[in-house]
A and B are shown apart, each in its own frame.
Chain A
């Protein structure tokens, strides 16, 4: 781990629920070095997913700033953020969020449609990404023809296919059985270790968090202690 890839500075996030203002994150600061694999734990409503959304440029802080690779993403416009996400972030969701009408390969290809790569180059990148997650032989299958674990692997392949700086995983094993969850976590670990991907993973599961290099705990919008895995 070297210099800080992600810098979160005094970030607060408020949501308006009717007349009531709910503070989800409170004056939170955080550094994530390049090559880190960080687990983010905490009870429901502690602000884990909100923080992940801020890191991925899906939402903006009410106060404070978030920068990734030195770029203040909280200052970007909607279109700039979209372009930034396309090049710098890969997302893995709890429920995979694959498009059911597309094959595994076409799902993985989606982020590449936003690049200048030719169809042949895109095909090559997709094949590589599917090989990395061990699903090269399932390229032509539709999500409904895959198991939950395989769907999540396709989702991971989609997240890494454009070689993003940051991989953000929101409960990636939350919908999987223990054995499959272990496979997915091992895969994430390998991506961090062998491919140098910086990963932030939100999880409820302490066993899942053990695969990370370190774990941060959030409670009521505030970071508690940091601990190494």
Chain B
């Protein structure tokens, strides 16, 4: 710690250069934060074995529909406790940018599958009694100022009614809350029965199934049995956990993980060159001063450590500022895109630790060559350069 003052003063030897280097690192970690947050918006953490629920989709693609009759066949598989289904409605409210998740579901089994979803009893009773009723998630209700009793028109980009009209109207009968630690209420539920009767195509089909085991068998076995049940049928299935399902959903937009990794790889490589060049220049300029330090008794190792520490300090300052900005920006973006990205865009503690690790690595790698150069200085030659 007593060398910190010396390292700090050396770091600011050329203020403009150091500021620019810090800014370049800042931009890199701002991007890291934003892209990682965006990637996280499509990821749910559970593995197949620890997942509470399984999801079954069409083996070919998420957009291919499955027969609703599969529900009963799934329920009959040993070890399955509950099964329900949902379908992507793909509608928007008032204007195209107001898109959020709307799902026609079988309300009793769906709400039983997601006990964390809570609706006041009276509202739930009215919803159950009204075939055109809808339950609106709290976040959507707040965002669009929707209240119980409102008429809610939605324009479906996928499902026309039998008369070809894509305008659907619902009566808001209740507001949904989510009691889980990471609540998601950016969606709307309505009756599958009404949807199926009214739609002009694809009747008797659903988007995906959701299952819960009774604990007697592993998720892996259950998933295998479900898919086996529908093997060699016109609509084969693929069963996995919610995380994989979310990733599948994300792939509709492209391979987010690959895109993020490619962009970050390019950014970090560029920043490595920029900061490495900056550090090399900085060390070259003060070779005689480093020789003076060695003359005074600083060991080659401590000179090496000081130059490396300088690189790490620059990376940490820029990186933490960038990461801080990205966290703030993600918070705002999450609110703005709440309807589209219901999982929210945030940085997990793991991502933060990874970012700090990258900062330290960036500092160490960019400082490595100049640090070794500084360590190997022979005092007499270096003093002679003045």
Contact = CB atoms under 8 A, between A and B. Distances in A.
A in complex with B: yes
A4 B383 CA distance: 29
Contacts of B10: 99, 101
Interface in A89-126: 91, 93, 95, 97, 99-102, 106, 110-111, 113-114, 119
B9 A82 contact: no
18 contacts: A56-B295, A58-B380, A78-B299, A82-B294, A82-B298, A82-B300, A83-B297, A83-B299, A85-B296, A85-B297, A91-B295, A93-B383, A97-B288, A99-B10, A99-B292, A100-B289, A110-B293, A114-B296
A87 interface: yes
A110 B296 CA distance: 8
Closest 3 CB pairs of A and B: A86-B297, A101-B9, A82-B299
A53 interface: yes
Given A97-B292, A99-B292, A102-B6, A78 B300 contact: yes
Contacts, number: 66
A79 B299 contact: yes
A10 interface: no
Interface of B: 2-3, 5-6, 9-10, 12-13, 288-289, 292-301, 379-380, 383, 386
A23 interface: no
Given A83-B297, A101-B13, A113 B2 contact: yes
Given A58-B295, A58-B379, A99-B9, 11 more contacts: A79-B301, A83-B297, A91-B296, A97-B288, A97-B295, A99-B289, A102-B6, A102-B9, A106-B6, A113-B2, A114-B298
A88 to B, nearest CB: 9
Interface size class, chain A: 20 to 34
Interface of A: 53, 56, 58-59, 78-79, 82-87, 91, 93, 95, 97, 99-102, 106, 110-111, 113-114, 119, 158
Contacts of A101: 9-10, 12-13
A106 B297 contact: no
A152 to B, nearest CB: 14
Given A97-B292, A119-B2, A53 B380 contact: yes
A101 B306 CA distance: 15
A114 B301 CA distance: 13
A110 B300 contact: no
A114 B386 CA distance: 25
Contacts of B12: 101
Given A58-B380, A95-B386, A101-B13, A82 B297 contact: yes
A114 B298 CA distance: 7
A97 B287 CA distance: 11
A12 B298 CA distance: 27
Nearest to B288: A97
A90 to B, nearest CB: 9
Contacts of B6: 102, 106, 110, 113
Contacts of B386: 95, 97
B281 to A, nearest CB: 15
